[in-house]
Amino acid sequence: MHISTRVDQTRILQADEIQAVIESLDSKTTKNAAINHTLFRLSCCVGLRRCEIHGLNLGDVVTHGPRPHVRVRPETSKANSKGNRKGRKVPLWWDAGTREHLQAWQEWRFQHGGKPSSPFLIGVKAGADPEGRLAMKAIQKRWKTAIATLGKARQSQLSVHDGRHSFASHSLQAGRSLVEVRDALGHSNVSITSIYLHMLDRNDVPDVFQMRKAK
């Protein structure tokens, strides 16, 4: 299997860009904005793939206890070269801001009839089932809307998968080990994860990650 040894640095969201997107979405009070904000966090601050965001259920997000995490079930993860799928747990204790946001969204969903088996993200299209899972195409479209504050050039350049790349780079620059980030991303080995090393300056870590002081 060929493993790329480089990541296009222009496709990594910088610290000020991540903060700008979160502040922009936080300033809006619509349900659409809340969905887009949650999607952005799941991609850029949790490192989930689009298929994993699509398959995430309310019961997969554990926000309480000493080790809050997002559980990626095997059936929603990406298959490896042999066709096997492996589940994993992505730490939420690395980032208090994202944990708090996901907890608030989860509580809102439960208050409005959501169950552990209900989709974490739902669509709001007129006439759609209120429990309808957010479609794969809608995830990419909403990502573009979420990052609109960065301007049309960046909006056209960045995909939802670039949020995952950004999570990997910022996690390593914040001091997380290759093994920790490998496990969070679900990589098969650290050689894949290591391509994100030295992508960013150590002083350019988004405040929203809050990982440098984490235990």
How are strands ordered across the β-sheet holding 69-72?
Answer: 61-62, 69-72, 88-91
The residues, ordered by sequence, that sit 6+ positions from 208 with a Cβ below 8 Å of its Cβ are: 18, 19, 22, 45, 95, 97, 98
Q: Which of 50, 164, 165, 170 is catalytic?
A: 164
Which of 6, 64, 82, 213 is an active site residue?
Answer: 82
Look up 164 and say whether it is catalytic. Answer: yes
Asked if 6 and 12 count as a contact pair (C-beta separation under 8 A), the reply is no
Give strand pairing partners of 62: 69
CA distance 45 to 85: 22
User: Are 167 and 53 within 8 A, CB to CB?
Assistant: no
Distance of CA 129 to the CA centre of its chain: 25
85 included as an active-site residue: no
Active site residue 49: yes
User: CA of 95: how far to CAs of 2, 36, 74, 129, 177, in Å?
Assistant: 32, 19, 24, 32, 15
The residue from 49, 50, 88, 142 that is catalytic is 49
3-class secondary-structure state, position 176: coil
Going by their DSSP bridges, the two strands 88-91 and 69-72 should be labelled as antiparallel
Active-site residue flag, 82: yes
Alpha-carbon dihedral sign for residues 46, 89, 97, 181: negative
Task: Tell me which residues are annotated as active site.
Answer: 49, 82, 161, 164, 187, 196
